[in-house]
Chain A
Amino acid sequence: MTGLRIEGLTAGYQKLPVVKDVSMEAVQGKISGIIGPNGSGKTTLFKCICGLIKPMRGRVLLGGQDISRIPRRKFAQTAAFIPQSQVIPFPFTVEEYVLMGRYPHRGRVMPFSPDDRLVVKETLSMLDLTELKDHQIQRLSGGEVQRVILAGGLAQKPEIILMDEPTSHLDIGHQVRLLSLLKGLSENSGLTVLIILHDLNLASAYCDALALMDDGRVFSQGSPTAVLTEENIEQVYRTPVVVGTDPVIRRPHIFFIPGAVA
């Protein structure tokens, strides 16, 4: 049971709360999406979940256990966080970077097992990176780097994965492939996914549940159909839109109105 439960969480920097009294849940084996405008506290919420910043109030439960009580390394064996970007100042190769995902399982000096090598190999092939494995990350394109960072997280073999806009630099082919891969992992291996997305239509198509954040608070949460309404979007994003229905999967689809600003 490794769902994630956030209860009344308030967090921020220098006593200034950025996330305000947020409660939500990421159910095991489901994809939960977080959407919301820039600066609405999504990334801060993730950092707090990962223990990068301490909550001011409230708590985060991973598999029923308060994360402040989970040792750092145990947490890293259970949960992976994929940041928006990663500065890589030295010429690491793709394979070296992905292998680091095994460190939480092996620690400081224990040699890697054939099992670790297999995990890395599978992860690389899953993300279409096998051919790039000996390339220096510094020389790859933005989209390729994003897939490498994700591969590093998946190589941790986490039970829950938190992703901060993993699709922002990807072309639509890789966007769909990546989200379909996550959907497969969540359905088949019970991976819990909590994902920040900017593309509302991708969020609608792939997420089982959505939370819409505004100014650090949860403005609305529930199924994509319940959250992605014209009123909610117009109020939070200050942009009038038309919500239709996707002809294939029957989920809400958002249409922008060029030139219209609320």
Chain B
Amino acid sequence: MNRLIPFIVLIPLLVFALIVGLFMGGAAIPASEVIDALVRYGSAGIGHTLIWEVRIPRVVSSALVGASLAGCGVVFQAVLRNPLAEPYTLGVSAGGALGATTAIVLGLTGLPMVAWCFAGCLLSIGLVIAISTVREFSTTTIILSGVVLSFLFSAVMMFILSMASSRDVHASILWLMGSLGSTRAVSAPVLALVVLPLALVLMCFSRDLNLISLGDEKTHLLGFNPGTLKTVLLVLASLLTGICVAVSGIIGFVGLIIPHAVRKACGADHQVLLPASMLAGSSFLLLSDTLAQIIIRPFELPVGVITGIIGGVFFLAYLLKARPPEVF
């Protein structure tokens, strides 16, 4: 029964966030017109077009990207046994961004661009693991390798951009800032077709995540294969990150704050933590994105700015507050 409480809270929250996202946005559309467009599909009018061609795809993408980023955070944290791991702090997003920039400069769009993003993400998670194996899997090593890789990838990215045409530079920068607005490499239905099955697969690994978070030895002793498991989980999470980066650029810290908050509220059992984090991540990104659209209307902030500010402050507070053994 206790285990249902998070969902009793989070599912209505997501519904609320979806409704807010539908009714509020860059263009002020009266509520009556939104309802009219929703119930009478196919009617004429600018409001109708905006709702069905801009807001609904955007709301769906935000929800899916938020869920994916939070889910990836949970998986990276469990596998690396470290509460500060997430796609952004590990440099996985930066790897994806490098891949995406390369793709833009090469003139690629759609699935080839996603493939480049994915390759970039895999490259960086591979490097983080390699560095941590040579050194040790401590927080310091992991976070430092994340920082170093982010720097390294940005440098390579800037090199590529310095050679590129100003049109490509403009496209890349806009995309890098992290936004769910413009049409991206992947449309909302395709994103749903990738994210939902991956999320289901990850949820089937909830028990494995519990064991892996207690270490290789415990995993082995309870009859699971830690090596295979870690590889499978990291590849799945990197794939999910790659898709997100391709869709929305770099949106930092969602994978850090959401799992942390959910863990505080509902405990560490991944059978609850993983789905609850995904629901919370969806709601969080939906609300952040709505805020990004209305805060300086008629202009729009990149949503990465909002999550970056909230997440950065949170990250700092965590580092200052956590007792040494927790940080270690």
The interface of chain A, by Cβ under 8 A from chain B, is 50-52, 72-77, 80-81, 83, 86-93, 96, 100-101, 103-104, 108-109, 136, 156
Closest B-chain residue to A109, C-beta based? Answer: B204
Is there contact, CB below 8 Å, between A91 and B218? Answer: no
A73-B223, A75-B223 provided; 5 other pairs, C-beta below 8 A? A52-B217, A52-B221, A81-B221, A89-B83, A100-B222
Task: Give min CB distance, A28 to chain B, whole Å.
Answer: 21
Stretch at the interface among B207-215, B236-244, B280-288: B207-215
Is there contact, CB below 8 Å, between A77 and B223? Answer: yes
Asked if B224 CB lies within 8 Å of chain A CBs, one says yes
Once A88-B214, A92-B267 are accepted as A-B contacts, the answer to whether A76 and B83 lie under 8 Å apart by CB is no
Task: Give min CB distance, B279 to chain A, whole Å.
Answer: 19
Closest A-chain residue to B77, C-beta based? Answer: A90
Asked if B263 CB lies within 8 Å of chain A CBs, one says yes
C-alpha spacing A259/B218, complex, angstroms: 41
Is there contact, CB below 8 Å, between B222 and A103? Answer: yes
Asked if B315 CB lies within 8 Å of chain A CBs, one says no
Set of chain A residues within 8 Å of B82, measured between Cβ atoms = 89
Residue interface bits B49-68, CB-to-A below 8 A is 1, else 0: 00000000000000000000
Is there contact, CB below 8 Å, between B207 and A108? Answer: yes
Is there contact, CB below 8 Å, between B210 and A100? Answer: yes
Is there contact, CB below 8 Å, between B224 and A86? Answer: no
Set of chain B residues within 8 Å of A76, measured between Cβ atoms = 221-223
Closest B-chain residue to A50, C-beta based? Answer: B221
The interface of chain B, by Cβ under 8 A from chain A, is 77-78, 81-83, 204-205, 207-208, 210-211, 213-215, 217-218, 220-225, 263, 267-269
Closest B-chain residue to A88, C-beta based? Answer: B214
Closest A-chain residue to B203, C-beta based? Answer: A109
Task: Give min CB distance, A182 to chain B, whole Å.
Answer: 18
Set of chain B residues within 8 Å of A87, measured between Cβ atoms = 81, 214-215
Set of chain A residues within 8 Å of B213, measured between Cβ atoms = 89-90
A-B contact count (CB 8 A): 74
Task: Give min CB distance, B264 to chain A, whole Å.
Answer: 8
C-alpha spacing A96/B269, complex, angstroms: 7
Is there contact, CB below 8 Å, between A51 and B220? Answer: yes
C-alpha spacing A87/B207, complex, angstroms: 18
Is there contact, CB below 8 Å, between A86 and B222? Answer: no
Is there contact, CB below 8 Å, between B267 and A93? Answer: yes
Task: Give min CB distance, B1 to chain A, whole Å.
Answer: 13
18 A-B residue pairings within 8 Å (CB atoms): A50-B221, A73-B223, A76-B222, A76-B223, A77-B223, A87-B214, A89-B213, A90-B83, A91-B268, A92-B214, A93-B267, A100-B207, A103-B222, A103-B223, A103-B224, A104-B223, A108-B204, A108-B208
C-alpha spacing A203/B78, complex, angstroms: 38
C-alpha spacing A92/B207, complex, angstroms: 13
Closest A-chain residue to B213, C-beta based? Answer: A90
Is there contact, CB below 8 Å, between A72 and B223? Answer: yes
C-alpha spacing A81/B217, complex, angstroms: 10
C-alpha spacing A52/B269, complex, angstroms: 25
Is there contact, CB below 8 Å, between A72 and B224? Answer: yes
Closest B-chain residue to A75, C-beta based? Answer: B223
Is there contact, CB below 8 Å, between B205 and A108? Answer: yes
Closest 5 CB pairs of A and B: A76-B223, A73-B223, A90-B268, A104-B223, A92-B268
Closest A-chain residue to B225, C-beta based? Answer: A72
Set of chain B residues within 8 Å of A109, measured between Cβ atoms = 204, 207
Q: Which of A72, A90, A96 contacts B220 (CB 8 A)?
A: A72
C-alpha spacing A74/B223, complex, angstroms: 7
Set of chain A residues within 8 Å of B78, measured between Cβ atoms = 90
Task: Give min CB distance, A203 to chain B, whole Å.
Answer: 24
Closest B-chain residue to A95, C-beta based? Answer: B269
Which of A50, A77, A96 has the most B CB atoms < 10 Å from its CB? A96
Is there contact, CB below 8 Å, between B263 and A101? Answer: no
Task: Give min CB distance, B178 to chain A, whole Å.
Answer: 28
Task: Give min CB distance, B136 to chain A, whole Å.
Answer: 13
Is there contact, CB below 8 Å, between B222 and A101? Answer: yes
Closest B-chain residue to A73, C-beta based? Answer: B223
Task: Give min CB distance, A94 to chain B, whole Å.
Answer: 11
Once A91-B263, A96-B267, A96-B268 are accepted as A-B contacts, the answer to whether A103 and B220 lie under 8 Å apart by CB is no
